[in-house]
Structures are given as structure tokens and as C-alpha cells.
Chains A and B, each alone.
Chain A
Amino acid sequence: METVKLTIDNREIEVPKGTTIYKAAKSLGIDIPVLCYMDLHDLKVENKPAGCRICVVEVEGRRNLAPSCSTDCMNGMVVKTHTTRVINARRTVMELILSDHPKDCLTCPKSGHCDLQDMAVRLGIREIPGQEFAEMSTYKKDFSPSIIRDVDKCIMCRRCETMCNDVQTVGALSAVNRGFMSVVAPAFEQDLEKSPCTYCGQCVAVCPTGALTEVDHTAKVIRALSDPTKTVLVQTAPAVRAALGEEFGMEPGTLVTGKMAAALRQIGFDFVFDTDFAADLTIMEEGTELLDRLTRHLNGDKNVKLPILTSCCPGWVNFFENNYNDMLDVPSTAKSPQQMFGAIAKSYFAEKLGKKREELVVVSIMPCLAKKYECQRDEFKHDNNPDVDYSISTRELAHMIKSFNINFIDLADEDFDRPLGESTGAGVIFGATGGVIEAAVRTAYEVQTGKPLPRLDFTELRGMEGIRSATIDFNGLPVNIGIAHGLGNARKLLDDVRDGKANYHAIEIMACPGGCIGGGGQPLHHGDSSIIKARMAAIYREDAGKTLRKSHENPYIKQLYEEFLGKPMSEKAHHLLHTHYFKKGNKDIYI
């Protein structure tokens, strides 16, 4: 490997050719401030438009200051990262950015988690010269069902564009207009709702300021909790327990399942249930559908569509409705766990309680912003009453816990309520990429072969690689499995399927890099992707610690089928647990 030698702040260093000054300095322990720059190393995502100029350094012999995030090291370079000239330039840049930024930090939803605020503190900005005559750009606010755009707070770092276009290939956002008038916006500056946005929320996850935030439903949840005529149920998604602790200063990857259940009970939910239960139920339906399609395919039925695609991720559903609307019969018809939970809660469980569905309020805690949109979809309503009333993010739950004066860290562990709180390890791993298909394999194998699984851990299905594939031996029948996380990877895989280049029987797709653990509603990682890896390890730890690890062994799932649904894919199950998809967009008529 070719290397170069240089000096940074009077210290010599040798780095591989092509290393940036910023990274070389970092390896010396010199922490050059960056704002627009973002490196999600484990996901192979880098944003370095060199737009903000906060990271400038002085390079001997160079006329102007160099942006260290995007300037490569050269042999013999002499770099200074904190000269008076550099510090003054950095301050001026910051003052200019702040001169066109609203000063409502006290009431901003991002306050306390804002990279711009942190930078102002770090650089010790105490006043903004010329503020009284500086012009402020103003732009309409955009409220979608999941995401709020407040472009006045945008600093044009382009991180959201990198996520939306390069990583997710959704193409909802682009920089438009020019100079002072430039903003990041959807085509024709329409609202997000009219764009191909999937509400995956990856833009929100990386936005350094309050320009992109989630729609906050906590006030509605609190109102429901204080309504004596309502019975309020809560369900928590698998990925939440692996990340919620971060909001309370705990190490990334700390499992807080028991504390979370305790906190939800203290908040006042009448029943603390688990989406993992519905994940087990999803496996029963989706696994049966997979086996049904597979059997028919092997028997030579030409009408059967393979591969079967998972359908638990609402961002992914939005994506294929927009981009693969010629293949709407390929994904599984199984609803997502969130929606299966809502449908069962407001039928089976309501009957058990002797209550009408209108008397129940179902709240979901999700690592996801697309879930907010999903629960509002018309097909998930019954007489205008939604199966899931409100979906709030991991971040919103953390905020609720704090505002209810609960000392989260010191809470003693509690368990979920029964019946809809019981789950197996298979339900837990839904939170990580590859988990849904691994859970499906654990059940489908035993149902298909009638034999117990020789092993439970399918490590070949796990990992952070964007596209993965494996062949699982179903007692002599090879089943080809594909996995993609991140919508850009999903697109590559789906294009291969459409072109007949791939031969898969089943494919799992998650919209967010890493799966739900990297969802748009999770605690902000601030560019540190090792946090997502730590959450993934936590998910598999939780699975390994469970007594039951196969969905079909969940006793309450068995009871649900015995008492209510009959068997998987029965008429009742079809009615309550399956859905259909809609064509969106008009791209096809223009080609």
C-alpha cells in the first residue's frame, strides 16, 4: 500500500495514500470540528460536500485554507489545525451560518440533540455580528404524516440528500434554486406527501439541526391516557429495547426490556404488550404463505409468484408501491407486526375484555417514522377507527418517560402483560437485518420437514453487508434466501429479480441500514455507526437468552389460533392479518 508522510500540528504521521487530512488528524487524536461531514463507516456511507467550511485547516504553502474533510494528505504536507487564522475563519463561518438560522433554540424539537447548537457551544460563539441587518430566508413548513420539514433551519449540509438519493435511492429530496434562495426540497417544491418519499426517516436520523423532525404524537397519547372512558394498550417494537437506554446515557447496546415495561406501566398504560408477539404471529402467516407458494411452485404451478418478499417494513412497502408497481403481487400479503397487533387487539382482545373497539386505544412504540404513516392508511381502519391509533418513536417515548418524572436507570425490571406480551426469540430478531427471514426459517423448516431444527442460529443470514444471500437446506430441499437492508440495496436486488438474474425463493428487505435498529425514530447516532452494530449485538443477545426461540412454540400464539383464528391463512386470518398494495406514481407511462 502506498503511503504518504506529513506533519499535523507538529506531529509526524504516515497514512495510506488517499487519506483525508481530517481522518489522518483523527488517528493522531486531533479532533477537527466538522458539521456537514458525516461518516457512517459500518454502512459505507460518507457525506463530504465540503460545504460548511467549519473543518478548514492551514496547509503550509497553500494560499487558501483547506477543508480537511475532503482534502487528501500529500507527502511533506505541513498542516496546522488551530492557528489564529483557522480559528477566526471557523468562527466567521459559524457566525454566517447562524446569521441565517432561527434563534428559537429554547423551543426547537432538536434542542439538546442539535449538532449546530453543539458547534456554537464548542466554538464559543457569544454573539452574531450584523444580526440586526442580516436578511433571514423564510420558507413554508411541510407537515407530512411522519416527517416535518422546517427548511428555515436547514444549513445545506446535504446529509439528507446523501441518505435519500445515494443510500436509499428514493430521490424525494434535492437541493433546488440558487444562492440565498437555495433549499433542500422535493420536486417542484411540493410537500413530501406528494413526493416519492417513503417516510423511512433516514433524513431525520442524520439531520444536524431541527430542519427535519418527526411528527410528535405524545400529546395525543397523554390525552388518551387521561381519558377514563378509554382502555389504552401499548406495544413495543423489538428494536426499541436495544436503543432506548441511550437516551438515558446508557451504553449503546444495553438491553432495557424490563425497565421499558416498568416505565410504560408507570406512565399509566392499562396493558403493556409487545409487538414481538405480533412478530411471532407474522411468522405464522408469512411462513405459511412462503411454504404454500413454495409447494405450489415445486408442483409446477406457473401462476405462483416467487420469490416471496417480506412486507413488515412500511418504508419498503411505500418504496415498492412507487418503484415496483408492476410487481405488487410478489410481496407477502401479511400485514406488518404493528398492524397485526392492532387488528388482534381490537378484535380478539377487545372481545376478551368485553369492550367495543372504539373503547380501546392502541399505541405503538416504534424505531420508525414510516409506522406513523402506516397506521393512518385507510385499509388499516375499520369504520374510520384505526387498528393502531398512535405510533410514537423511541425518541418520543424517552421524552415521555422523562416528562413523567421516572428515574429510568433505577427502575426494577418488569415483564410484559399476557396474552399479547408473550414472545419468542424469533420475534425479537425482527429488529435486525436478516432477523425476519431467520425467524421464518426457524418455523418454516419445522413445519415443512416435520423435524426439529438441528440448530437455531443461522449466522449466515446475519451481518451488516448490504446484500446477503444464503441457501438453507430444508432436509434435502435447498431454499435460496436473499437479504437487503437500505433501499438502495433493495433496489439492486429487486432489479435482478425483475430481470430474471436472481433465483431466490424468499427475500427479506428492510428500508433502514441495519434494519429497524437503525430506524429513523431511534436515538440519534450523530454519525457513529458503531452504535448500530452494538444494538444489533443486543438484539441477538436477547434472542439467545429466551427459553422459546421459535414463533410456533409461543403458547399464546397457539391459543390465539385455537380460540379465534383457526389456522394460519384461514379466512378469518386473511381478513384480519393480510392486506393488499396500491400503485403509486406515474413513472411507467413516461418510459
Chain B
Amino acid sequence: MIFFIIRRLFMTVFLLLVVSLVTFAIFFLVPRLAGQTAYQLAAQYVGKNPIPSEIKTVETKLGLNAPIWLQYGRYIKGIILGTHYNAGPDVSYCPFPCFGYSFRNQQPVWPQLISDAPVTISLAIGAGVLWLIGGVAIGVLSALRKGSFFDRFSMGMALAGVSLPIFFTGLLALTLFSYKWQIFPNVHFVSFTANPVQWAKNLVLPWIVLAFQYAALYARITRAGMLETMGEDYIRTARAKGLPERRVIVKHGLRSTLTPIVTIFGMDLGLLLGGAILTETVFSMQGLGYFTFLAIQNQDLPEIMGVVLLASFFIIIANLVVDILYTIIDPRVRI
């Protein structure tokens, strides 16, 4: 088990390097391939009203004319060892992990990410709990009551759920519940430490909208998995042995259905933690997703790179956790 985890940790570091390489390529290599000059690239690293000499200085400081591999090396070194940047009277040091310095906001990127993370985490985890429990429960019930009205209706809604874009359902929800009927007026993020009740209240709408889409998917998967499992011989054996039905369903049926669900849940949660861009933009919650959206609008490259790396990190860690959980849930899986 230990070796497994160590091996996976190495893999994690490797994956992060690859992601950083691809990110770097997107922001520094692709524009050059597409015809942008180093000067034009440098112009995206300065403030809003720069003078030409300033752009030239930045171009030199960032070494945009150096060979690509050298630039990448410097970039990685900056993340790990930290960089110094000029903030005025003193030179400030931005320690590990130094995701860079945003020239637009004149603040280092990492603290901004940290302050936005709670929003996304609240959104993702809350919705995750909702959709996992809801989706699996509905899927199980549908499978058990196969062919009934409940089954047909819930599968119908599930199909609708995966067919509607989330920014559309979000808008509908806002129109009806926030503006028309004023049940949730002024949806915006309130920190949990500041006011837990308001925190939860303001998150209800985004949670439901987000969970609706995923629950639909999970219900379908659970149902299909349960149907397949419940038809297996060992279920019949368990029933023949006289076990209570609930035990048969949960302990025997659900257990093996859960493995693919755990995998997908891990991946989905990891993705969401990196920023639920669509949900956050619709509900104007300032989490990592909204941060990404604004950064892209402002063409603030250091911020975009920082958040992409962070998002990839979440996904990779989520996959690692899922793999570990896999070995616990499914004894057939040998490490």
C-alpha cells in the first residue's frame, strides 16, 4: 500500500510537470507560433496604460526573447524557488508556490487564489454531497422500481438534466427564484465564518442548479449499474440465503455499483474544485472559476496560468484519492 502511494505520488509530480509544460506552451509558445512578437506578448504583462519603454523592460525582464526551454526552466524555477518582484520602495519576495505576479492587479497571484478558493470549495463540496446522495438514491430506487412511474419520470428528468446547459438552468433558476419570486434575493457569497446561515442560504440556488446536472448523470449511471448487478447470480444467492432485502441491496448490490461512481465522482469533484466557471459566472460568485473568467477577459496571463495549474493540481489529487479509495472499496483490485 505504501509503495502504491509513493508510486502514485511520483506520478502526481510527473503529471503536474506535464500540465505546467502544456500550460506554458499555450501561453508562451502558441502565441509565438501564431505570429505574435515578444513585444506584443510583453504588453500583456504590464499595467493598463504602459509606455513603450516599460513594455521593453518587461520583455527583457521576463526573458521573452530567450530560447523556449530556457523560459520554461525559469518559469518552473520561479514557482518552486519563488521570485522577487519590484513593488515600489522595496523588492518583495513571493515564496513557494509563486504562481507569478499579476501586473494588472499589482498583487501576487497565489494570495488571490487562496482568497477565492473558499467560494469554489463551498460550492463544489456542497453540490457534490447533494448530487452524490441524490443521484445514487434516485438511481437505486429507479432500478428497484424498474418500469414504474417513478422510474420513468425520474429517468426522464435525468435525461433532461444532462441535456440542458448549466448556464441556462442557472439563468432560469435566477429568473424565477431570485428576481421574480424573491425567494433568494441578492445571491452572492457570504463567508461561512461571517454568517453560516446566510452562507448556506445564498448557496442553495447554485447548489441545486449544479447538483441537478450531475445528479441526473449519476442517477442514470447508478440505475444502469444496479440493473446489471441485481441480475447477477450472487444476488440471487444472497436472497436465497434469507438475507433481508435491504442488506442485499446495499451491501451486495450497491457495493459493486459504487466503484465506477466513485471514480467519476472523484474526477468531477476535482474538476469542480478547479473552478465551476459556468455556475460561478451565472451566479456571480467570486470563486476560482469567476477568477479565471475575469483573468481571461483581462488577458492577465500570470493569473490564468496560476489558476490552470491549481485546477490541474486538484484534479490530479482527486484522481489519487479515488485510486486509493478504489482499493478499499473493491477488494478485487490489486495494487
Partners in one complex: no
Interface residues of B (CB under 8 A from A): none
